[in-house]
A and B are shown apart, each in its own frame.
Chain A
Amino acid sequence: MENTIKVERAILNITQDDLAKKIGVSRQTINSIEANRYVPSTVLALKLSEIFRKPVNDFFKLSEND
């Protein structure tokens, strides 16, 4: 799974900590998601979708290994 959360976050001009607080997780979790070390649950993905005002598919993409 690949994602462009870092880009989306930059567009909104918010820090990892700001985003973490908005969706109720720790900053380290956002960092792990951005670094593709952790694939979030559907609930978290939908919360991110709400923040970015975009469908989940726009910032999460399946990679060849998936």
Chain B
Amino acid sequence: MGKQNYIECERKGLEKLINFRLPHYFYTIGILVAGLSIVLMFVRAFAMEGDTEWLKLILQKTLLVGMLFMSVSRDKDEDEMVVKLRMQSYTYAFVVGVIYALIMPYVEYGVSNAMKPEGEAFHDIGDFQLLLFMLMVQLMCFHALKRMR
């Protein structure tokens, strides 16, 4: 393989990695999966009896998968500006997510102990809570930035 071919091959590989996004129809699939997960979460909480902890854990995961599909699928009118806005929204989500993970345990502990004297013990937030929050921030920021463009 010549030097030029090698460079071209590397460039194509890098472009594939940079431009990775799911097709737009995954956005609709994501909405359906996330929506169905939320509905089933309510059904589990209010209409089901017995030990359904396993279902709760599965629904948490499907909700995250649905939101991830929404997050990484192409926009209907995808162009370089939309790509830039999406990257910016990931930056916001990451920064806000780190701040949330640092502050929220103290807020939860404070609120819990202020409400009742024997409040909850101090504990860090869970991975589901953090990932859900970051995905929500990313999706909201992305849509807000698109409206502002």
Contacts and interface: CB of A to CB of B under 8 A. Distances in A.
Partners in one complex: yes
A44 interface: yes
Interface in B40-68: none
Interface of A: 24-26, 28-29, 31-32, 37-38, 40-41, 43-44
Interface stretch (B10-18, B74-82, B97-105, B130-138): B74-82
B80 A26 contact: no
Interface residues of B, number: 8
Contacts of A32: 81, 149
12 contacts: A24-B79, A25-B77, A25-B81, A26-B77, A28-B146, A28-B149, A29-B80, A29-B81, A29-B82, A38-B149, A40-B80, A43-B80
A44 B80 contact: yes
Interface string B74-115: 000101111010000000000000000000000000000000
Given A26-B79, A28-B77, A32-B81, 11 more contacts: A24-B79, A25-B79, A25-B81, A26-B81, A26-B82, A29-B79, A29-B80, A29-B82, A31-B149, A38-B81, A40-B81
Interface of B: 77, 79-82, 84, 146, 149
A53 to B, nearest CB: 22
A18 B82 CA distance: 19
A47 B79 CA distance: 14
Contacts of B80: 25, 29, 40-41, 43-44
**Which of A26, A32, A44 has the most chain B CB within a 10 Å cutoff?**
A26
Looking at B79, B84, B146, which has the most chain A CB atoms within 10 Å of its CB? B79
Contacts of A41: 80
Contacts of A25: 77, 79-81
Nearest to B85: A38
Nearest to B75: A26
